[in-house]
Amino acid sequence: MTRTVWLASYPKSGNTWLRMLIANLSANEAPMNINDLPQRGGIASARAPFDYLTLIDSGLLTHDEVDVLRPRVYEELARGAQDDEYDEPAAAPPVRFVKVHDAYTLTPAGEPLLAGRRGADAAIVIVRDPRDIVASLANHAAMSLDEAIAFLSDSQAAFSMRTDRQPSQLRQKLPGWSGHVASWLDQTDLPVHVVRYEDLQADTLGTLRGALAFAGLPASDEAMQRAVAFSGFAQLRDQEQAKGFREAPRPAAPGRFFRRGESGAWREELDAGQAARIEAAHAAMMRRLGYQLTPAPALAMTG
Amino acid sequence: MARFLLSDGRDIVFEAAAGAERGDVAIFLLGTVFGILLHQRGEIVLHASAVRVDGKAVLFCGSSGAGKSTIAAALAQRGFPVVVDDLCAITLTGAAPLVQPDGRHLKLWAQAIAQLDLAARRGAPVRQRLQKFFVEPAAVLAEPLPLGAVYALREARPPHQAGIERPNVVDAALILRRGAYRPLMVNRLGQKADYFRAATAIANAAGIFHLTRALDFAAMPDVIARLERHWRDIGLMEKAA
């Protein structure tokens, strides 16, 4: 029986990098083409699998009505249903990794949107310093830094939430960065393994090994070392430059998907006030995840 | 909203949920439920909108949100009347594949109505709680039309670039199967072979193509120009003198 493991993260937190590392475990000769990252079972909020499996036109439903039905889709997929009319894979993989940006929330009917234990066996939660997310998100979504900071603190924020057109994906609730991370860490349906972007960068091999062991997909050191070499940031960025990345923002947003891929770049990209606002809004969760807050300036001696 | 029971491609029994609005039940009955009923009958039913080009029906297939109704509405503005919207049954019994006009209104989102300048023909919302509206067709067709071409809509994203191409036979068959109104029904009812045969017949009589373009209203004039060139190339429209 294939196990389902969510790769859950706030946007721009390293989800695609981890997917690339996992995909490159089976690449032998050359790095996997970034445009060959599996799209089937690609992201939980994809619209087509919903329509395919429910037979219902999601475009005739409100976002909330779609949410009521989404758990049924994840149950079916976890049971092995295919989500499209391609030829079925010869052998079911031992673990099905599915990217998800939705916060872990309940539907209007009161059940977990992602169907709890019936939708997956476990979750790998990828987190990143919110000060680094801001600049990356601003680039991705064509926002200013200040708008991105506000988005990270907005408990009503979501992706694909417009109602005057049909967004290509289903709505993904992103109730603030702290709220999003807390929703995943504090839910009690699924066991969780936290991967920090910064750790993935400092010790890619060790962090990957830990995540795979948690997921129940052990890999040889050789395969992991090759995957790490094939998934370097420069490698991904150069591939995007050469042939484009189908998951990148539409041309309206001029940003590249693989932008800097650094940790701590916020020190150059944010001004002190911007960093302070993020820290003020997210101090508790940042401390919980081990992100250092800027020390308060020493009080000037008077007298 | 409602529960529907469909039997033998003939009977529809439904029960509206408490508090469901009649119009909401009707929109699903006339769309999804009728489509599934046609699948039960073993018909070739595509998720497609179509326009008339010189007496023939040109179909645009794609999943929800692919832009079927939008491209049909834009072509209607250029003088190619809409034949069907969203649900398209194809009859293969005669010499040429035929498409039956459905006489229905287009369903378009507020953004598309604004971008295509169709506010004057905007009708009631499809559902009270959606910003998707019925749009009255400029002309109503009655007679069945021979099928002229089928285009599968695809967004221009790496590695696919904007353009029109004719896929090989295997891919054309997959386009038609994936282009079914509800592909899962084709799969579960064991009709894949029927769709393969239909793809062969349609590819021979008309042509099955990929139409790849940016999902952007600004690209629409280019898309229409490209289609008109293609229709001249494949003999659907007379070449300009």
Asked if the C-beta of A56 comes within 8 angstroms of chain B's C-beta atoms, the answer is yes
B2 vs A contacts (CB less than 8 Å): none
pLDDT, tens only, B193-214: 999 999 999 999 999 999 999 9
Q: Pick B129's closest partner by Cβ from A47, A62, A165.
A: A62
Q: How many structural domains does chain A have?
A: 1
Report the CATH number at residue A25.
3.40.50.300
Q: What is the mean pLDDT of chain B?
A: 93
* A26 in Cβ contact with A230 (< 8 Å): no
Q: Pick B109's closest partner by Cβ from A65, A165, A244.
A: A165
Kindly tell me if the per-residue pLDDT of A40 is higher than 60: no
pLDDT, tens only, A108-147: 999 999 999 999 999 999 999 999 999 999 988 889 999 9
Kindly tell me if the per-residue pLDDT of A244 is higher than 90: no
**What does the pLDDT read at residue A28?**
79
A53 vs B contacts (CB less than 8 Å): 184
With bands split at pLDDT 50, 70 and 90, how would you rate the model's confidence at A87? low
* A170 in Cβ contact with A47 (< 8 Å): yes
pLDDT, tens only, B35-82: 999 999 999 999 999 999 999 999 999 998 899 999 999 999 999 999
Residue A145: how many other CB atoms lie within 10 Å = 17
**What does the pLDDT read at residue A71?**
98
**What does the pLDDT read at residue A241?**
86
With bands split at pLDDT 50, 70 and 90, how would you rate the model's confidence at B148? very high
For the residues of B110-166, what is the DSSP string, one character each? HHHHHHTT-GGGEEEESSTTSSEEEE--SS---S-EEEEEEEEEEE--TT--SEEE-
pLDDT, tens only, A92-101: 789 999 999 9
Residue B2 parent element (H or E): strand B2-7
Asked if the C-beta of A302 comes within 8 angstroms of chain B's C-beta atoms, the answer is no
Give the 3-state secondary structure of chain A: CCEEEEEEECCCCCHHHHHHHHHHHHCCCCCCCHHHCCCCCCECCEHHHHHHHHCCCHHHCCHHHHHHHHHHHHHHHHCCCCCCCCCCCCCCCCEEEEEECCCCCECCCCCECCCHHHHCCEEEEEECCHHHHHHHHHHHCCCCHHHHHHHHCCCCCEECCCCCCCCCECCEECCCHHHHHHHHHHCCCCCEEEEEHHHHHHCHHHHHHHHHHHHCCCCCHHHHHHHHHHCCHHHHHHHHHHHCCCCCCCCCCCCCCCCCCCCCCHHHHCCHHHHHHHHHHHHHHHHHHCCCCCCCCCCCCCC
With an 8 Å Cβ cutoff, are B216 and A251 in contact?
A: yes
**What does the pLDDT read at residue A254?**
57
Host domain of residue A172: 3-129+156-247
**What does the pLDDT read at residue B1?**
86
ipTM, 2 dp = 0.92
Size of interface A-B (CB pairs under 8 A): 80
Which residues does residue A18 pair with via DSSP β-bridges, in sequence order?
Answer: none
CA–CA separation, B157 and A250 (whole Å): 8
Amino acid at B204: N
With bands split at pLDDT 50, 70 and 90, how would you rate the model's confidence at A255? low
With an 8 Å Cβ cutoff, are A165 and B110 in contact?
A: yes
For the residues of B172-218, what is the DSSP string, one character each? HHHHHHHTBSSHHHHHHTT-HHHHHHHHHHHHHHT-EEEEEE-S-GG
CA–CA separation, A177 and A126 (whole Å): 12
With an 8 Å Cβ cutoff, are B28 and A55 in contact?
A: no
A69 lies in some domain: yes
